[in-house]
Amino acid sequence: MEYVRLEKEGSIATITIDRPKALNALNLTTLKELKQALAQVVKTADVRAVILTGAGEKAFVAGADIGEMAGYSTSQALSFAQAGHRIMTILEALPVPTIAAVNGFALGGGCELALACDLIYASEKAKLGLPEVSLGVIPGFGGTQRLARLVGRSRAKELIFTGDLIDAARAREYGLVLEVLPPDKLMAHCRDVANKIASRGPSAVAQAKRVIEHGADLTLAAGNEMERQAFALLFGTQDQKEGMKAFVEKRPAAFTGQ
């Protein structure tokens, strides 16, 4: 792949958007390669967490490639939006948790990419925002929907209507990012979180992610029913037997994902 790097260390996969000269902007090629990288992650049975970041020190992903997008027709814009939405849907549907390591600008499509991840951690130098209205358009990769669900409708409206960028500290205050780290500590922190997740029962983590994601759009009663069914289902796994046996025997569990 030309613009996306996929690396694996132990049970942690790291996907890096690698267009530093373009501040890692998303063009059609990058979206296709990101889809390819995510497909490889799905095929790799022992991956238990994914970290998503950008190359260089300036940007996570500075947005969509405006130079490529500026001349789009309505139909081309729809195709581009559909390509972006497919990536976000794949990220949300991955059976393993995804962590966005926001190391710099996360604007427009870059912010939307982070929003599609399960956990977001940011460098002190990070800037986040959805400035599309300053270009005469709106977020096209799910930003209007995911941001409102994460920080509330009023705050999302403020950020999207003004197109303002916010620093990492303000993003944490809004609930957009979980923690803010010094630049040289960001990836280490993300790896620590990923490794902790990887030490837990992978089937249980996958079910927890599924129930949280799908339950958020259901009534409380329907969400609780989904939880009950998933809880019971896990008692048919080897990991449940190993986890509880290890607890009784006062030893670390050796989960296999079975």
Where in the sequence numbering do the catalytic residues fall? 112, 132
Strands annotated E in the chain? 4-9, 12-17, 49-54, 59-61, 98-102, 105-107, 119-123, 127-129, 166-167, 179-181
> Shortest CA distance to 159 belongs to which of 183, 127, 182, 120?
127
**Residue 24 buriedness (CB in 10 A; 0-12 / 13-18 / 19+):** buried
Q: DSSP class of residue 139?
A: -
Tokens representing residue 197 in the block? 């997740």
Instruction: Give the Cα separation of 134 and 138 in Å (integer).
Output: 9
Angle (CA) 43-37-105 rounded to 5° is 140
Instruction: Give the Cα separation of 220 and 198 in Å (integer).
Output: 29
